[in-house]
């Protein structure tokens, strides 16, 4: 049995990842997890409910898995919503807003690692990955702004790194990484696409294809790191 799971399957990247995994023909079972059932799923893909803002929902979703997992990808994230967009300066910081960003971008994926990493197959190669962002790199921050998004993704990168160290003790063939998808033409990036060169604004299917290829090419020695869509490593 080879089982893959995408959490955040209703998002642009998440849906494309599900389609890419289904189209590969490599998996005997694929699970698409999201708060709401997708309007359509490829043949043979099962839906599981999960809400990253609800810890009990994450634990319950893990309890429904009845086979070892070979791929888990957390494809969730929030930059803006009806409550507002990213902060441009210190005066824009708001405690409730910061807590919400960390709940979705950091705490939810961290709890996925807690409950789903132990479900990875033990005696064969496996991978668990979280979609992060280049702007989560502290060393690469030269523009400022976007406080909550940057900080929550930086925290996610640290959690992935720490989880990879622990995971290596029980599953030495596993890879645990953060992935940067590039600027993808989805609702998350829509308000910020002005000025992005056409060749740097990726269709979700292209980004998903590249991310899956990068993930397939990584080895356990590279676990705990951050990789972009083109395979380049991003410094924390």
Q: Which residue has the tokens 């599900």?
A: 18
Distances (CA, A) of 89 to 83, 152, 153, 192: 17, 16, 18, 17
Q: Which residue segment(s) compose the domain that 73 sits in? A: 3-234
Give 92-127 pLDDT, tens digit per residue: 999 999 999 999 999 999 999 999 999 999 999 999
Least confident span in 45-59, 122-136, 194-208? 194-208
Name the DSSP class of 44.
T
Count the domains in the chain: 1
Are 227 and 214 a contacting pair, CB within 8 Å? yes
Q: Give the CATH number of the domain where residue 70 resides.
A: 3.40.50.720
Mean pLDDT rounded to a whole number for the chain: 94
């Amino acid at each position: 049995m080879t089982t893959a799971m995408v959490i955040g399957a209703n998002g642009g990247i998440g849906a494309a990842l599900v389609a890419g995994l289904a189209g590969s023909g490599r998996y005997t079972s694929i699970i698409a997890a999201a708060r709401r059932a997708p309007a359509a799923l490829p043949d043979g893909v099962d839906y599981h409910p999960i809400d990253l803002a609800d810890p009990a929902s994450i634990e319950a979703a893990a309890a429904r898995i009845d086979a070892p997992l070979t791929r888990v990808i957390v494809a969730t994230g929030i930059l803006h919503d009806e409550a507002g967009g990213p902060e441009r300066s210190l005066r824009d910081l708001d405690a409730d807003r910061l807590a919400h960003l960390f709940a979705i971008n950091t705490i939810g994926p961290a709890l996925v690692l807690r409950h789903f990493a132990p479900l990875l197959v033990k005696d064969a190669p496996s991978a668990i990955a979280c979609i992060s962002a280049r702007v989560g790199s502290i060393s690469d921050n030269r523009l400022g702004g976007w406080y909550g998004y940057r900080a929550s993704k930086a925290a996610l990168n640290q959690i992935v790194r720490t989880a990879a160290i622990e995971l290596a003790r029980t599953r030495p063939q596993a890879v645990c990484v953060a992935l940067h998808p590039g600027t993808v033409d989805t609702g998350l990036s829509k308000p910020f696409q002005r000025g992005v060169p056409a060749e740097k604004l990726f269709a979700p299917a292209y980004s998903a294809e590249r991310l899956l290829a990068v993930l397939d090419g990584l080895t356990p020695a590279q676990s705990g790191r951050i990789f972009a869509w083109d395979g380049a490593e991003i410094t924390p």
